[in-house]
Chain A
Amino acid sequence: MLFRPPKPVGMTLNLAPMVDVMMCLIVFFLLASRLVDAQHRPLNLPYARAAREVGRGELGPLVINVRPAADDALRAEYVVQGWDGRRIVEQALPADQIARYLQARADVARARGAPLRCVIRADEQVAYGHVEVVLRGCGLARIANVVFGARAGEEPKERT
């Protein structure tokens, strides 16, 4: 009986499932980074060596960004997150709305029995008076737990 050896077959790795998974990961990171950008707009936070490093998930839902206005550095914009029914959007609040906004958030948290922490992320160049508006609002809404965003570490020498 004559056996004929099988013809050599070129073996190729099927990479299609791997590409599918990686594409999913990339789409996830693209979308996630867009959401994160909305939540954490780039601000020049002040440096603080005593700042405790935190992950983004630890900050909590109540974050108020205070940044200089684009047209006038002496004015400030208060940027908070809002939900427009489909996605997280940034919402600029006038200074006289801050206290009302904080009161509403505090009322919701109290109704749920959840603790509330206010994170104030203020640009290093804004005047203290603008941050004071948020602090006053926290006091009126009885939000005692307030933290300030800062860049953890030593301030570069040329800036000091």
Chain B
Amino acid sequence: MRRSLPEPTSERIPNLAPMVDVVMVILVFFLLGASLELATEGVLQTELDPRSGPGEGAPVEIIPAVKIALAEADGGQACNIYVMGAPLPGNTFDDLARFLSQRRAAGADTQNPLIIAAQPAVRWRFVVKAMDVAVRSGFSNVQFAVSLGGGTPVKP
């Protein structure tokens, strides 16, 4: 009896479909992860006074439209708000927004600098909040009072 040899089988290719599935899922994960993080970060703009800089020691005289001062309270968990040297009635950022809206309605020039001065121990979030309120109230020229001392003023 004569046996015929089996026909040569075609080239064997591994099944790549599951691997493609997994790789696709990883790819989508990276794509979404990257874009989600992007969407939430923003910036607040300020311009430093061009008269600042070398020649330090010479204070810069600015006549601000509004001056906001922040003082530390509650061990850094809160802050006291002063406007034009006087405590702000209510002492909240909503009250500050109302005050700034009134100033604007009364004819304050919103192109004039609005100065924010904060004690060194005030938390940064309160400073940004004051700046946020000022910008939303229409005062676009927000500047910061910076002490002339060197080094880290909070804790050396």
Q: In the docked arrangement, what's the CA distance between A141 and B125, Å?
A: 25
A129 with B23, Cβ < 8 A, contacts A50-B44, A139-B53, A151-B41 known: no
* A24 vs chain B, min Cβ distance (A): 11
Does A140 lie within 8 Å of B136, measured CB to CB?
no
* B113 vs chain A, min Cβ distance (A): 13
Does A136 lie within 8 Å of B146, measured CB to CB?
yes
A52 with B16, Cβ < 8 A, contacts A22-B24, A74-B154, A124-B125 known: no
A19 with B23, Cβ < 8 A, contacts A128-B118, A128-B119 known: yes
Q: In the docked arrangement, what's the CA distance between A131 and B123, Å?
A: 10
Residues of chain A contacted by B70 (CB below 8 angstroms)? 128
* A156 vs chain B, min Cβ distance (A): 12
Decide if A64 is an interface residue (CB 8 Å cutoff). no
Encode contact with A along B129-156: 1 for CB under 8 Å, 0 otherwise: 1011001100000001011101111110
Decide if A146 is an interface residue (CB 8 Å cutoff). yes
**Which residue of the partner chain, among B13, B34, B119, B151, contacts A12 with CB atoms under 8 Å?**
B13
Q: In the docked arrangement, what's the CA distance between A54 and B42, Å?
A: 5
Does A147 lie within 8 Å of B123, measured CB to CB?
no
Does B44 lie within 8 Å of A48, measured CB to CB?
yes
Does B45 lie within 8 Å of A52, measured CB to CB?
yes
Residues of chain A contacted by B53 (CB below 8 angstroms)? 139-142
Contact residues on B (Cβ < 8 Å of other chain), bracket: 35 or more
Q: In the docked arrangement, what's the CA distance between A143 and B136, Å?
A: 25
Within 8 A of A (CB), among B18-63: 19-20, 23-24, 26-27, 30-31, 33-34, 38-50, 52-54, 56
Count the A residues whose beta carbon is within 8 Å of the partner chain — how many?
A: 71
* B1 vs chain A, min Cβ distance (A): 25
**Which residue of the partner chain, among A12, A22, A96, A139, contacts B146 with CB atoms under 8 Å?**
A139
Does A10 lie within 8 Å of B23, measured CB to CB?
no
List the B residue with the shortest CB-CB distance to A22.
B23
Residues of chain B contacted by A22 (CB below 8 angstroms)? 20, 23-24, 27
Does B54 lie within 8 Å of A130, measured CB to CB?
no
Q: In the docked arrangement, what's the CA distance between A123 and B43, Å?
A: 13
Encode contact with B along A28-68: 1 for CB under 8 Å, 0 otherwise: 01101100100010000111111111111001000000100
Which A residues form the contact surface with B (CB < 8 A)?
A: 9-10, 12, 14-16, 18-19, 22-23, 25-26, 29-30, 32-33, 36, 40, 45-56, 59, 66, 72, 74-76, 95-96, 99, 119, 122-133, 135-136, 138-153, 155
CB-defined A-B contacts under 8 Å, sample of 23: A10-B10, A15-B16, A22-B23, A26-B23, A26-B30, A29-B30, A46-B128, A48-B129, A49-B132, A53-B40, A54-B42, A54-B43, A55-B38, A66-B124, A96-B150, A127-B120, A127-B154, A133-B152, A142-B54, A147-B46, A149-B42, A149-B43, A150-B43
